[in-house]
Structure 1
C-alpha cells in the first residue's frame, strides 16, 4: 500500500535552530555533476560520502530542509559535534529525539560542502527509512542540494544531474511551470477534478521522498471523499499513526499534462501547517523527467515512458512492513479484501511469495506482485505462532 512518508512529516518537527549553510559547490572546471541513482519502492536513493570516510545511501527528498543521518552510531564514529538535542515528536508514547550536529563534509561526486556542514542526527532510527525504501538506507538529503543547484532528475536513465545556476539554460523540449518556493519548500499548482465533479486549483508541496500520488491533508477536503474508498492508516507521523482514506479523483492536471482516475489519499486531520493543502509524491513525479530550479521558482517537465502507466493501488488488501533486516510482518488488513478472506492476519510473518523466500534483497520485487494485475493468483507462506501456513488469494481492485 502506498503511504505517507515519515521523512517529510519529520521535517515539520525540526526547528530552524539547525543552522545549515547551503555549503555545496562544484569546482569551476567540473561543470555539471552526474550521480547515478537507485530506485526502490519508487524512491530515489543516492550515494552520499561523509568526511571522505564512508559512503552511505540517502533518500533524495525535495521537501526536507536539513540532511538527516538516521544512524547515530555512524555520527559517533565520524566524530560529529552534537550541538543541541531536538524533540522530534513521539511514537507509541515514546518521545523521539535527534541532535543538531556539525563537523560533517558531504560529497556527491565532484559536488561537496565545507568541512563544518550541519545536519540532523537521530538518536534512534524511529523513522525506519529502510522499511519505507525497502532497501537499506541511512539518511535523507534535500534542500542542501535543491537550494544550491538546478537539480535534474532523469528517470529515463536513473540519473541525478546537478547544474550550477551560473551556467544553466532552460532545456529545450520541456514545459515550464512556475513554482512557489517558501521556507525551503517548493509548491506546484495543479487542477483537481473530484468524484463529485467539483474542480479546484491547489498548490501542492513537491515531495520526491514520498511514495504516494497526491495527498490532501486539510480537513476541508474531506467532503470530497469518493464513495469508493478505504479507511486505512496512511503512514507514521512524528506523533504516531496518520489515519485517513485512500480513493481516487477523476482528473489531475499539471500545466498541459492530464492524468485520469488518479489514486488520492485524504488525511482525517490536518498534517503540518494550516496553509499546506497537501503534496504530490512519486506516484506522479516519476512520470516526468524534470529540472527543479528552486532559486528561479520554476520546474521544467517532460513526459517519460512511465507517463501512461495506470494508477494501481495494492490489490491484496494487506500491508507488509520490515520488522528487522529479514523479518517482514503483516501490519494491516483491509476487511473483506483478498488477503482477509484467505485468512491472513495482522502479525503474520511473511515467509515466501510465489514460492520465493522473502529477503531484504527481493522485498521490493516481490511486493510489487500485489500491484500487478487484477485476477492474478498469489500464493504465500506465513508463520503464525511458530507454525507455517500456506495461503492463496486472487488479487482484486479495492478502489
Structure 2
C-alpha cells in the first residue's frame, strides 16, 4: 500500500511532513552564528552542507521537513540512504511524486549542525526550481532549523542569525511590533487585517517566506474577501505536482498592527489548488516574501513570537509583471564575444622599471562563449506580449537592442515590472529563425 504524504508547495513552500528528528546545536562559544544569504525574487537562499556536500537551500518558514531535489549529479557524494519510499502530493494537478526518506544525515548551516537529520529525497528530474530562479537550488529547509533557534532575518543586509534561545537577548525596540504566533501542524500563523472595498477584515495568515508573491487570499464572499473588477487571470507559480493559476489583483490596505501597507498586490489561487491547504478552515491566506522583505524579523518558534521592524523596503511600491511573460533559464547558448589582445608598454619595451604602464591594443579576436539561454515558459492570455505575437518556447536573444547574455534572469524579469508604460523590443529565436517583436507594458490597475 502506497504511503502518501500531502505537501503544500507553492513557489517553494512545503508543509505538513511530521515532526523532525534530531536537534541543531551551534558549535561555538557564543552559541550564535550569522549566515549571509542571497535574496532572489523575494526568496532567501542559504548555503547548506549535507554529508559534506555544499548545496543551496530555500529558507521557508512553516516547513516541517527538509526536502532535497535536483541532486542527481552528486548522489554518490551525498550518500543518501534509501530507507522508506514516500509519495508526496502538493499544489498542482499532477500525480504524486515518489521520494525516499533518509535518516542519520549530517546537516550544517553555518556553525549549526544536526547529526541526525531526516531528509526527503526526490529523484524526479522534473522537480527543478533552479531554471525559474536562474540560480542553483537543491532543496528546502524550515521547521527543522527554526524549532531550535531564535532566528533573525535581516532582509536589508541579507543575513540570518541563529542563536540558542537560552542565550538570546532581545533589544529594546520601540518601533517594532511583536505578535503571537499560532501553530497548526507546525506552521506559524498570525492575525492581521486587510481592507477590501472600504471594509476592514481580520484574517488569519500563514507566514510563508517560501512564497515570492506579496499576499495570497482565499476568496470567501461571506467575509468580503474577493476580487473587485480590476484583476487578471495569471500563472501564480509552480507547485510540487504542477502549475498553479488564479487571479491577480490589489487590495487597499494590509495591516500588521501599526504597520500599514497600501495598494498591496494579492493573488487569489483557483479553489481546485486549495484542496489541501483549506483543511485548516480558519486560514484566510499567506503573507509571502514581497511583504516580509519590508521588515527585519525576529522569529522564535519556542515562545511563539515574531517581531516586525520595518526596513528601507517598507515604502517601495508594489509592482507586478506587466508583460505577461514568464521566463526560465533553459540551458545555454553560444555567444560570439570580442577577445582583445593587450600588451603593456613595459612589456613591449622590455623594461622592468616602469612605474606607470600604458596599455597597447595589438588586435581584436573573437571567441565563442557559453551563456545562459532564457526561454518563455508561460504567456498570459491577452497580455501585451501575447498580443504582439510572442509564443511559449521562444528563446530570447536580445531585449531593447542589448544581448540577453549580459543579464541574469532576474535582471531581465525586472524590466517587465517597470512602473511606466515602457516600450519593450524583443528579438527571439523560433524554429531557427530570428524574429523581432515590440510591445508596451500595460498596467491593468492604472486609474
**TM-score, normalised to structure 2's length?**
0.81
Q: Deviations over 1:299-321 (max 9, x none)?
A: 11111110000001112122223
| Residues 129-171 of structure 1, C-alpha deviations (whole Å, 9 max, x = no match) | 2134331111111111111101000112111100110012332
Structure 2 CA distance for partners of 1:76 and 1:94, relative to 1, 3 Å: farther
Residue number in structure 2 paired with 1:392: 438
Does the CA contact (< 8 Å) of 1:65 and 1:143 recur in 2? yes
Counterpart of 2:319 in 1: which secondary structure?
A: coil
* Residues 167-222 of structure 1: CA deviation (Å, up to 9, x unaligned): 1233222321221123221112110111x223211111111111010002355579
Q: Which deviates the most, 239-248 or 222-231?
A: 222-231
Partner of 2:439: helix, strand, or coil?
strand
- Aligned residue in 1 for 2:316: 309
1:45 equivalent in structure 2: 45
**Alignment match, 1:329:** 375
Counterpart of 1:231 in structure 2 is 233
Residues 218 and 278 in structure 1, CA contact (< 8 A), matched pair in contact too: no
Select which of 279, 291, 294 maps to 2:298. 291
Q: Secondary structure at the match of 2:39?
A: strand
Question: Does the 8 A contact of 1:337 with 1:398 survive in 2?
Answer: no
Alignment of 1:11-26 (within 5 A): 11-12=15-16, 15-16=17-18, 20-26=20-26
Contact 1:375–1:396 (8 Å) recurs in 2: yes
Q: TM-score, normalised by structure 1?
A: 0.90
Cα distance in 1 for residues equivalent to 2:434 and 2:375 = 13
Matched, 1:136 2:147: no
| CA contact 1:44–1:60 (8 Å) conserved in 2 | yes
Higher mean displacement: 204-213 or 347-356: 347-356
Counterpart in 1 of 2:427? 381
Q: What corresponds to 1:5 in structure 2?
A: 10
Question: Contact 2:328–2:377 (CA<8 Å) still a contact in 1?
Answer: yes
Aligned partner of 2:3 in structure 1 is none
Q: 2 CA distance for matches of 1:374 and 1:185?
A: 39
Query: Against the structure 1 CA distance between its residues 281 and 82, is the aligned structure 2 distance closer, same or farther, given a 3 Å change threshold?
Result: same
Partner of 1:69: 68
List per-residue Cα deviations over 1:267-315 (Å, max 9, x = no partner). 1202523323211101100000110111111111111110000001112
Instruction: Give me the whole-angstrom Cα distance separating, in 1, the residues matched to 2:296 and 2:255.
Output: 16
Q: What is the alpha-carbon distance in structure 1 between the residues aligned to residue 317 and residue 164 of structure 2?
A: 36
Shift of 1:123: 1.5
Structure 1 gap segments, 5+ residues each: none
Greater CA deviation, 161-170 or 251-260? 161-170
Query: Offset at 1:67?
Result: 1.2
For the pair 1:363 / 2:418, whether they are aligned, the reply is: no
Question: Are positions 1:110 and 2:117 aligned together?
Answer: no
Conservation of the 8 A alpha-carbon contact between 2:217 and 2:225: no
Q: By how many angstroms is 1:75 displaced?
A: 4.0
Task: Give, in angstroms, the shift of residue 93 of structure 1.
Answer: 4.8
Which residue number in structure 2 is paired with residue 164 of structure 1? Answer: 164
Give the drift of 1:379.
1.9
What does the per-residue CA deviation read over 1:21-77, in whole Å, with 9 as the maximum and x for residues that have no partner?
2521113613310001111112111111112x2211111111211111113533443
Aligned length: 388
Q: Secondary structure at the residue paired with 2:25?
A: coil
Aligned to 1:188: 190
Superposed CA RMSD = 2.3
Q: 1:66 to 1:361 in 2, by over 3 A?
A: farther
Structure 1 residue 339 displacement after superposition: 1.4
Give the structure 2 partner of residue 178 of structure 1. 180
Q: Closer, same or farther in 2 for the Cα pair 1:218/1:44, shift >3 Å? A: same
Pick the structure with greater CA Rg: 2
Separation in 2, partners of 1:30, 1:168: 10
Correspondence for 2:200: 199
Tell me by how many angstroms 1:227 deviates: 0.7
Q: Where has structure 1 moved over 4 Å in runs of 4 or more?
A: 90-95, 218-223
User: How many Å separate the matches in 1 of 2:34 and 2:28?
Assistant: 15
The alpha-carbon distance between structure 1 residues 359 and 89, as it changes in their structure 2 partners (threshold 3 A), is farther
1:311 partner SS: coil
